[in-house]
């Protein structure tokens, strides 16, 4: 039950993009087509889930025993950067078209604050709950957050596909209307606040 709560909280209530406003760059950049945004969501899901797993291990098995917790940010960046490299290789090998479509945003997952953010959030929760936020909690939180990211980006891509040929005033064409759309989505997701304490 607790795991389900963590998952739903990460997907809807504390949606990484629409409630925490992290990872907005790929959210706006790769949301032109549903297909690509889904690919991006998958890549982020893979990176985020593995990053929460490995960063938990690195933090609790290396940094804490050596009392060098202050190096957590650097260590997490190291973990994430390596993972992104790995994902990039895998995607380039298995799906060149997706690799083309994701373009520069794929290596940019390295600096995607959502991924680093979730590693740090997991760590902080562990400190706050006195270590009760364990490995499985972290992984589920990371996975849920990534699902939330995928949900948000796919929803936005769907909306963008629909409004593509609408008579949008010239001044709002392109990113302005996307930012307004994203803002409205954030307001809508505010409706989930308070669902889980």
Binding site for other proteins (CB under 8 A): 58, 62-63, 66-68, 71, 74-75, 78-79, 82, 85-86, 89-90, 92-93, 96
C-beta of 98: minimal distance to other proteins in Å?
Answer: 13
Q: How far apart are CA 137 and CA 110, in angstroms?
A: 23
Q: Which is nearer to other proteins, 89 or 195 (CB)?
A: 89
Among candidate residues 41, 50, 6, the one with its CA nearest the CA of residue 23: 41
Q: Which is nearer to other proteins, 96 or 174 (CB)?
A: 96
Q: Which is nearer to other proteins, 66 or 132 (CB)?
A: 66
C-beta of 71: minimal distance to other proteins in Å?
Answer: 6
DSSP 109-168: GGG-HHHHHHHHHHHHHHHHTTT-S-HHHHHHHHHHHHHHHHHHHHHHHHHHHHHTTS--
The 3-state DSSP class for residue 42 equals helix
C-beta of 194: minimal distance to other proteins in Å?
Answer: 40
C-beta of 164: minimal distance to other proteins in Å?
Answer: 20
Q: How far apart are CA 96 and CA 91, in angstroms?
A: 7
Q: How far apart are CA 95 and CA 117, in angstroms?
A: 28
Q: Which is nearer to other proteins, 81 or 154 (CB)?
A: 81
């Amino acid at each position: 039950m607790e795991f389900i709560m963590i998952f739903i909280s990460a997907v809807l209530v504390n949606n990484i993009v629409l409630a925490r406003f992290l990872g907005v760059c790929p959210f706006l950049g790769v949301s032109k087509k549903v297909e690509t945004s889904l690919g991006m969501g998958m890549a982020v899901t893979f990176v985020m889930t593995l990053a929460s797993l490995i960063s938990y291990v690195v933090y609790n098995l290396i940094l804490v025993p050596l009392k060098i917790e202050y190096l957590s940010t650097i260590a997490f960046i190291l973990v994430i950067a390596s993972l992104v490299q790995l994902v990039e290789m895998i995607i380039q090998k298995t799906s060149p078209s997706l690799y083309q479509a994701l373009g520069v945003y794929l290596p940019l997952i390295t600096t995607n604050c959502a991924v680093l953010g979730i590693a740090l959030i997991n760590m902080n929760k562990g400190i706050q709950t006195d270590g009760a936020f364990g490995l499985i909690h972290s992984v589920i939180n990371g996975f849920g957050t990534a699902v939330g990211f995928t949900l948000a980006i796919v929803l936005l891509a769907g909306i963008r596909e629909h409004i593509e040929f609408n008579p949008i005033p010239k001044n709002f064409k392109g990113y302005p209307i996307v930012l307004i759309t994203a803002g409205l989505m954030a307001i809508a997701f505010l409706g989930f606040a308070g669902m889980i304490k």
